[in-house]
Structure 1
Amino acid sequence: MTPQRVTLITLGVQDLDRAKAFYAALGWRPAEETPSIVFYQMHGQVIGLFGREDLAKDQGRPDANLGTGAMTLAQNFDTQAEVDAAFDQAVAAGATILKRPEMVFWGGYSGYYADPDGHVWELAMNPFWSLAADGSLTLPRAE
């Protein structure tokens, strides 16, 4: 049986230096890097930025158009003010605004931006989920 977990998320990027500069402007610091990939340590996971051509070759699909796919990465925060501050920081770093943070139908507060390669990030405050002191999220148990 395969464990239910994700340990590494790799984002294909057009220009690795531009992508590194964007995430550096968000305050992210690489944990490890090579000329073609950079890794950021998260809470129990790692996010990698990998040049798209090199990633396609690594996947055995050197002629593939990888695109960004239909997926959203998300960061949750404790307050609306924290969401707004993180959103403003991303925009100042060069993110494209998709939807400014606002109250949403499910009772929370969220907004979306795209990084320079089009990877979509949601920044949210969910009043139904509590974050640990280190920012990690464990879903509440269904009763």
Structure 2
Amino acid sequence: MDQRISFVTLAVADVAATRAFYVDGLGWEPSFEDGDVLMLRAGEHLMLSLWSRAGFEGEVGPIAAYDGVAPITLAHNVPTPEDVDRVLAEAVAAGADEVGPALERDWGGYTGYFADPDGFRWEVAYNPGPIGASLLP
């Protein structure tokens, strides 16, 4: 098996509200949508696939109930700390909940988080190391 991820699929409560956030708010372009599924290209070979919970459960199985934050984060790396602040502000303007302000981290980066309409946490990160640089377009 090749070492890569092609799709990240998340179950969402309301596909229309999710679309309003990502497409209308953040300006992302849909690659596919049918009312129950919204797919957004997130990289050259990566698709963010957002499914209605019912559709997700129909294909994958029952969704586990939990309290608190889903045990996953998505990250968007940027080239400067100023870009972290700008992207966080754009996300909040689009309707995201700001989870916390951006901070300088012990590992040398500068990151902050926002939550999309379903509470999925997005990290906006300036990572000054070689791995961070390798992830920028």
TM-score (norm 1): 0.84
Matched residue pairs, number? 131
**Structure 1 residue 60: deviation in Å?**
3.3
| Secondary structure at 1:78 match in 2 | coil
- C-alpha distance after superposition, 1:76-96 (max 9, x if no partner): 000111111110011111111
2: CA distance, partners of 1:58 / 1:99:
34
Q: Which has more strand, going by share of residues?
A: 2
* 2:13 is aligned with 1:10: no
1: CA distance, partners of 2:4 / 2:134:
19
Q: Which residue of 2 aligns with 1:139?
A: none
Gaps of 5+ in 2: none
| Secondary structure at 1:5 match in 2 | coil
TM-score (norm 2): 0.88
| Secondary structure at 2:30 match in 1 | coil
Contact persistence 1:9–1:47 (CA under 8 A): yes
Q: Which residue of 2 aligns with 1:130?
A: 133
2: CA distance, partners of 1:116 / 1:105:
29
| Secondary structure at 2:16 match in 1 | helix
Which of these two proteins has the greater Rg computed from alpha carbons? 1
Q: Which has more helix, going by share of residues?
A: 2
Amino acid at match of 2:29: R
* 2:28 is aligned with 1:22: no
| Secondary structure at 2:29 match in 1 | coil
Cα root mean square deviation, aligned? 1.6
Contact persistence 1:76–1:125 (CA under 8 A): yes
Amino acid at match of 1:15: D
1: CA distance, partners of 2:31 / 2:55:
20
Q: Which residue of 1 aligns with 2:81?
A: 80
* 2:42 is aligned with 1:42: yes
Q: Which residue of 2 aligns with 1:70?
A: 71
Q: Which residue of 1 aligns with 2:106?
A: 105
Contact persistence 1:111–1:124 (CA under 8 A): yes
Contact persistence 1:14–1:51 (CA under 8 A): yes
**Structure 1 residue 31: deviation in Å?**
1.0
2: CA distance, partners of 1:89 / 1:100:
13
**Structure 1 residue 69: deviation in Å?**
2.8
Contact persistence 2:16–2:35 (CA under 8 A): no
